[in-house]
Amino acid sequence: MLRSEVLEFLNLLKGCLMLDLFHVRDRQKNIQSLIDLGMNVTERKQVLLSLEPEDYVKGPEPDETDVDKVIWVFGKRYNGKEIYIKIRVDQDSKIKGRYRAVVWSFHAAENKLDYPLAE
């Protein structure tokens, strides 16, 4: 994966985050992780906004819930713990040129993550 492609995705993601055009899936694992990490929703958004190309793990790859869409995976350290972050950014079906982000996973990593763009 080229650094420039990851940067392009992150710029799109951060635009969605700054415009509040995103949501985090209401999965029990995601909710419990906020408690386990001692994090509130504002801090979670700050972690997402702080993602850099060095945090890239893999992607884009087909989303198992919709093969026409793609997901990206990133990792980030917070309070000494590694966080697994899986994200999708889609074009809004109602408004042309607008995008929305979906955070599928935001929880403590269950396995060690590999960061191919980290130096």
- Assigned domain for 115 exists: no
Which CATH number do you get for residue 67?
3.30.2310.40
- Assigned domain for 62 exists: yes
Q: Find how far residue 44's CA is from the centre of its chain.
A: 10
Total tally of structural domains belonging to the chain: 1
- Assigned domain for 113 exists: no
Interval 3-58: pLDDT, tens: 999 999 999 999 999 999 999 988 888 888 888 888 999 999 999 999 999 999 99
- Assigned domain for 49 exists: yes
Domain that holds residue 41: 3-108
Q: What is the pTM of this model?
A: 0.92
Amino acid at 102: V
Tokens of 30: 């995601």
- Assigned domain for 72 exists: yes
Amino acid at 21: L
Interval 66-78: pLDDT, tens: 888 999 999 999 9
